């Protein structure tokens, strides 16, 4: 805490506040009107951004659901070396085919 001698009295503080220049009322009103227009534009931009995010997500989900992913069974005969006859299909499944070379038996 400050010593009592260093504290500013109420009279000194009031005189400091009275000596500071004040802002004219029309300048304050102009700035407030500008701020209101800016805030209105920012709120509109925020709402449009949120709507566009939801629309892009809905469009992405719609496009994603258009494809019909159906698996199919297939038999693959591969002439492999030493009995290795594995085939990896387009869906990532590994099919163990039969080796026709006769070396793996």
Report whether pLDDT(105) > 50.
no
Least Cα distance to 96 among 64, 71, 74 occurs for: 74
> Kindly report the CA angle at 103 between 99 and 105, in degrees rounded to 5?
75
Out of 12-21, 24-33, 64-73, 76-85, give the one with best mean pLDDT. Answer: 24-33
Q: What is the pLDDT of residue 91?
A: 66
User: What are the respective helix, strand and coil percentages of the chain, to the nearest 5?
Assistant: 50, 10, 45
Close Cβ partners of 100 (under 8 Å, ≥ 6 residues apart): 77, 78, 79
- The answer to whether 83 and 96 have CB atoms below 8 angstroms apart is no
Q: Which of 2-11, 27-36, 47-56, 89-98 has the lowest mean pLDDT?
A: 89-98
The rounded percent of the chain whose pLDDT value lies above 90 is 32
Domain ranges of the chain: 25-65+75-99
CA distance 99 to 82: 8
Q: What is the pLDDT of residue 67?
A: 78
Q: What is the pLDDT of residue 65?
A: 85
Q: What is the pLDDT of residue 51?
A: 98
């Amino acid at each position: 805490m400050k010593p009592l001698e260093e504290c500013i009295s109420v009279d000194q503080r009031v005189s400091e506040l009275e000596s500071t220049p004040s802002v004219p009322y029309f300048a304050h009103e102009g700035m407030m009107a500008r701020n209101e227009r800016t805030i209105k534009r920012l709120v509109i931009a925020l709402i449009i951004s949120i709507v566009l995010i939801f629309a892009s997500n809905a469009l992405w989900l719609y496009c994603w659901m258009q494809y019909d992913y159906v698996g199919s069974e297939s038999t693959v005969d591969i002439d492999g070396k030493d009995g290795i006859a594995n085939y990896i299909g387009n869906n990532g499944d590994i099919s163990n085919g039969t080796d026709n070379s006769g070396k793996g038996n």
